[in-house]
Amino acid sequence: MMMSSKRYISKLLLSLILIFLLSIPITAIPSRSPSRFLGNFAKHHKTTDTINKTYRYDIRYFTQTLDHFSFSNLPTFQQRYLISTDHWLSGGGGGLNRFGPIFVYCGNEGDIEWFASNTGFLWEIASTFGALIVFPEHRYYGESMPYGSREKAYKNANSLSYLTAEQALADYAVFITDLKRNLSAEASPVVLFGGSYGGMLAAWMRLKYPHIAIGALASSAPILQFEDIVPTETFYDIVSNDFRRESLSCFDAIKKSWEEIEVEGKKENGLLQLTKKFHLCQSLNSTEDLSDWLDSAYSYLAMVDYPYPSSFLMPLPANPIKEVCRKIDSYPEGTSILERVFAGVSIYYNYTGTVDCFDLADDPHGMSGWDWQACTEMVMPMSSSRNNSMFPTYNFNYTSYQEQCVKEFGIKPRPRWITTEFGGHDMRTSLKMFGSNIIFSNGLLDPWSGGG
Amino acid sequence: MMMSSKRYISKLLLSLILIFLLSIPITAIPSRSPSRFLGNFAKHHKTTDTINKTYRYDIRYFTQTLDHFSFSNLPTFQQRYLISTDHWLSGGGGGLNRFGPIFVYCGNEGDIEWFASNTGFLWEIASTFGALIVFPEHRYYGESMPYGSREKAYKNANSLSYLTAEQALADYAVFITDLKRNLSAEASPVVLFGGSYGGMLAAWMRLKYPHIAIGALASSAPILQFEDIVPTETFYDIVSNDFRRESLSCFDAIKKSWEEIEVEGKKENGLLQLTKKFHLCQSLNSTEDLSDWLDSAYSYLAMVDYPYPSSFLMPLPANPIKEVCRKIDSYPEGTSILERVFAGVSIYYNYTGTVDCFDLADDPHGMSGWDWQACTEMVMPMSSSRNNSMFPTYNFNYTSYQEQCVKEFGIKPRPRWITTEFGGHDMRTSLKMFGSNIIFSNGLLDPWSGGG
C-alpha cells in the first residue's frame, strides 16, 4: 500500500536524520582575505584517479538562463549535470517507483564530478529511498561556463558579474522544475544536499524555494559567518583548538613558526633559503606567500580531519591532524621549528611522497571563482586572536578587504547583501517559522561549525 | 507594561484582520495582450487635485542598487519614498512608542504619491497601531528612474532590463533594512501592504523575505493568474457578471456593441464617423483601438466598483457600474447601441463633464512600464469566453503574445519564471507551511479575485 504523501515525507526526513553519518565531505572557504578560498593548495597533483568510478551516472547539459533577474538579451549557457536513475527507475525503496524522491546536490565552487565522487552518503542512501540522483554543477565552475569558455567567462568584472549565489539558486530552481516536468515527476519530493558553500546553497534554497524542495541537508554550512553574527575569531580558534587537543607542543611550534619565518626572510638570501627549506618550485617573493601556504594546510586539515583515510582535498591518512602533530613532535630537542613544521605540512601536501617541489599557485579544482564571490557578496569576516589562535594575530579590516577587491576586480563588495537577502541576524526565528526540514550538520572539530 | 513581542505581533495581525475594510484601492492589470495594463485610460485629465493633501508625509530619496543579483559596475539610482513618523514618534497605540510597527506599502506600477493618496486604510489604522508609515516607490515608475531620467530608463531593452519584480522586492528589502538600522528600530515589526501588483509584491515579499516582514495584507493580488493555474476566462467572466447582475439588457447591449463597431468601421468613412460618434481627439486608425478603449473602461469599472464615490482611477460616483447601466438602459427603444454605449462609458471617462474629446493614447500615471513587465515575466494569460463574457470572444495565444513582445521590445517573455521563482501551482501547501500571516483580501466583484 502507498504511504500518504505527508507521512512519507516525514519518514523520509526522519530517516535522513537517523542514518546521517559524517561521510559528507566538509569543504569550506577560508576568507581571512579575499584571496582565501577552498581551491588553492587543495590538491597538488592533477590526477584523475580520485574520480571514483564506482558511482554510475550520465553526464548531461541543460540550457540555462544567464541572468534570471533581469531581461537583457544575454546568451544562454550549458549547465552540466550528473544524473542517476538506477534506483529510481528500478523502483527501490518499497515499491515507491517513480514517486521516489529526487536527491539534488547543490553544486558548489568546483568541478561537479569531484563533489559527486566525494559525497558517498548521498549515493549510499539513494537505493534505500529509491531516489533519483542529480548533481547540477554551479555556474562558472567545472564545465558550466557562460560565454562558452572559462577564459571568456573569467575575462573581467562584466563577464563575471552573474557569478552569484542567487543566480545559482535560480539555476537549480529552473533546472529542477524543468526536470520534474520532463520526467512527469511533479509528485516526487525534492531533497537538497550540500556541503560547505553547497550546504549554504541547500539551506538558502529551502528557505527561498519552499515550493520546490521539501527539505535540505546542509552539511558544514556557515550561513552565520557574515557581518557581526558570530565572532570573527571563531574559525581560526576552532582550527587552533583542533591542533591543541592533539598536542600542546605541536600547537606551540606552529604558533612560534610565523615569527621564525619573518626573521629568516629578513636575512640576506633569506627568501632563497626558505624556498629551499620548503622545497618550493618557484623562488619566494615574500614570506607572506609561504605563511599563506602553511595557514591553508592547517585550515584544510581541520576541515577534513576525518577518522578514516580520505582523498577529498588531498590523499590523507585517518586523523590527519594527529599525524601532523606526531611528525612535528617527533623531532629531537633543538631541531629548528621550520624543519619540524615543514615535516608536518608534508603530511598534507605530500602524503603520497611523490612531490618533488611545491607550487604555491596551484589551483587544481578550478575554484578561483571564489575570489570573485568573496569580493562581491560572500564577505565572511575573519580574525585571528592573540591568545586562542596559533595563527598570526590578525584583525579583520573591511577597508583593506575592499581595497584589495577594487584592485583585483574593480568592484566593491556588498558586505550586507547576503543577510538582507537570506537573513541571518535572527536566524533562529526564521528557521523556526519558515525554514522547516533543514538539517544543519556540523562536526565540532570542523572550523566552519562556529558559523554553522 | 510592554506586551511580549510575540503576543504583540499576534494582536497586531488579528487587529488588522478585524478592522480590515474594503477601502484599499483595487488596482489591476488587464493583460489580454501585452499592451493591456493599468495605466492606459485610467485618468483622462492630468490634474494634481486628486493628490489628497490630508495625508502628511515627507518625500525622501534612497540611493539604490540597480542590479541586486549581479555585480557589474552599474550606476545607482534614487528611489523616492514617502515617510510619516507622526504616529510612530508621538507614541500612539498604547505607549508602544518607537517599538511601534512599520507599515510598508509596496509601491506598484505608478507614481507613489498616487497610491499614497488612495490607500486611506493604511493611514487610518496607523494611529491605532502607533505605526511608522513608508511608501517606497517602485523602480522605473514615478520619479524613481534609473539612469537619471524616464527617457534614458525607457530607452531600450537594455536600459529596461532591471525592471522586474525580483529587483523591486530586493529594493524594498535593502531599503527597509537600512531604514530600520538608521532609526535604531530593529525591534519594530514590519507589516507589508499592497494592492493588485503591489499586493502580489507584498505577498511574495512575505514569502521570500520572512526575516524582514512579519506579515502582509495583499489586496486584490492575482498571484495565481499565471500559466494554467486558474482558467484564463476568469477575469473577463467576472467583469461580465458584474454588469449582468446590474442589468441583463446592459450586458446584452455591450455584448452586441463590438459587432456594431466592426460593421460601422467597414463602411465608407466609417472610422471617421466612429471618431465623431465617440468624441475622439484623433482620427481612429482601426476599430480595434476603439474596442480596446471601451474594454478598458468596463474592466477598470469592475475593479473600482466601490459603493462610495472615489477618484482613484477616475472621478466616479458610488456604484459606478450601476450608473453606467442606468445610462445604457435609459435610452428609448430604437436608440443605436453605439450611442447608448458611448453614454455609458462617459460615466467612466467623463463623469465630471469637462472633457471635450477623448485621447486614446493617454497615460497620465506613467505606467507604460507595465508593457515591459508583461512582456518579460508577468505573462498572465487571459481569454474571453463565448458564453459568459460580454467581451469579444478571444483565446489566449502565447505565440502571438510572444511575437508582439519581440516586435515591441526585441525580447521573448519567460512565461514560466514567475511560478518557478514564487511558486503558484501548489500555493495552498506553500502558504500553509511557509507563508503565514498573509491576508489575501478579495472583493468578489473584483475581476482579479479569480486569480487572487
At residue B53, the pLDDT reads 54
- A62 beta partners: A79
Which pLDDT value is given to residue B89? 65
| Contact between residue A37 and residue A31 where contact means Cβ atoms under 8 Å apart | yes
- Comparing alpha-carbon positions, the chain A residue that sits nearest to B432 is A434
CB contact (8 A) between residue A73 and residue B414: no
Length of chain A: 452
Model confidence over B248-264: pLDDT tens digits? 999 999 999 999 999 99
Q: How many CB atoms lie within 10 A of CB B165?
A: 23
CB A207 within 8 A of CB A175: no
Helix (H) or strand (E) holding A438: strand A438-441
Q: Does A1 touch chain B (CB under 8 A)?
A: no
Q: pLDDT category, B27, cuts 50, 70, 90?
A: very low
Q: What is the pLDDT of residues A83-117, one digit of tens each?
A: 999 888 654 444 445 678 999 999 999 999 989 98
CB contact under 8 A, B71 and A177: no
Return the SS3 of B197: helix
Please list, in sequence order, all residues whose beta carbon lies within 8 angstroms of the beta carbon of residue B33, skipping any fewer than 6 positions away: B401, B404
Taking the Cβ of residue A227 and every Cβ of chain B, the question of whether any pair is shorter than 8 Å is answered with no
Q: What's residue A363's pLDDT?
A: 56
Q: What is the mean pLDDT of residues B168-182?
A: 97
Contact of A309 with A232, CB cutoff 8 Å: no
Backbone CA torsion sign across B18, B22, B27, B30: positive
Give the pLDDT band of residue A446 (cuts 50, 70, 90): confident
Mean model confidence pLDDT for chain B: 84
Average pLDDT value over all residues in chain A: 84
Q: What domains, with CATH codes, occur in chain A?
A: 58-227+418-451 (3.40.50.1820), 233-416 (1.20.120.980)
Other C-beta atoms closer than 10 Å to the C-beta of B406 total 12
Averaged over A119-131, what is the pLDDT? 89
pTM metric for this prediction: 0.84
C-alpha cell at A414: 556588498
Mean pLDDT of B194-212: 93
Closest to A342 (Cα-Cα) out of A410, A273, A244: A273
- Residue B15: the pLDDT is 40
| Cell 564530478 found at | A113
pLDDT at res. A364: 54
Could you count the other beta carbons within 10 Å of the beta carbon of residue B387?
Answer: 8
Q: Which of A158, A170, A177 sits opposite B72 (nearest CB)?
A: A158
pLDDT of A79 above 80: yes
- In the 8-state DSSP scheme, what is residue A381? -
Q: How many angstroms from the chain centroid is the CA of residue A423?
A: 21
Distances (CA, A) of A172 to A79, B105, B358, B446: 10, 31, 50, 36
Query: What residues in B contact A429, CB-CB < 8 Å?
Result: 211
Return the bridge partners of B280, or none. B358
Helix (H, G, I), strand (E, B) or coil at B190: strand
Better-scored residue on pLDDT, A91 or A123: A123
- The dihedral built from the CA positions of residue B215, B219, B225 and B226, taken in this order, carries a sign that is negative
For the residues A188-207, what does the mean pLDDT come to?
93
- Tell whether A416 is within 8 A of chain B (Cβ): yes
A70 and chain B in contact, CB less than 8 A: yes
Residue A97 DSSP class: G
Predicted confidence at residue B41, as pLDDT, reads 32
pLDDT at B334: 84
B247 touches chain A (CB under 8 A): no
CA distances from A431 to A14, A200, A434, A438, B210 (A): 18, 13, 5, 8, 10
- Determine the Cα angle at B147 with ends B145 and B151, to 5°: 70
pLDDT band at B98 (very low <50, low <70, confident <90, very high): low
pLDDT tier for residue B364 given thresholds of 50, 70 and 90: low
Identify the CA nearest to B39 among candidates B449, B374, B382: B374
CB atoms B411 and A73 under 8 Å: yes
Long-range (24+ apart) CB contacts under 8 A made by B350-359 are: B350/B44, B351/B314, B351/B315, B351/B316, B351/B317, B352/B315, B354/B45, B355/B44, B355/B45, B355/B279, B356/B279, B357/B279, B357/B280, B357/B281, B358/B44, B358/B278, B358/B279, B358/B280, B358/B281, B358/B293, B359/B44, B359/B280, B359/B281, B359/B282
Q: For residue A433, is pLDDT > 70?
A: no
Residues from chain A that touch B429, judged by Cβ atoms under 8 A, are: 211
Q: What is the pLDDT of residue B313?
A: 81
Which of these ranges, A51-55, A222-226, A399-403, B236-240, has the smallest mean pLDDT?
Answer: A51-55
Alpha-carbon span B89 to B78, nearest angstrom = 26
pLDDT, mean of residues B133-142: 96
Q: What percent of chain A has pLDDT over 90?
A: 60
Phi and psi angles of residue B64, each rounded to the nearest 5 degrees, phi first:
-115, 145
Q: Tell me: pLDDT of B65 over 90.
A: yes
Residues of chain B with pLDDT > 90, as a percent, come to 60
Query: What is the rounded CA–CA span in Å between residue A14 and residue A219?
Result: 16
Chain A residues in contact with B161 by the CB 8 A cut-off are: 67, 70-72
Residue B284 has pLDDT above 80, yes or no: yes
DSSP B22-80: TTS-------SSTT--SSTTS-SS--STTS-TTS--EEEEEEE-S-SSS-S-PPPEEEE
Residue A295: its pLDDT value, please? 92
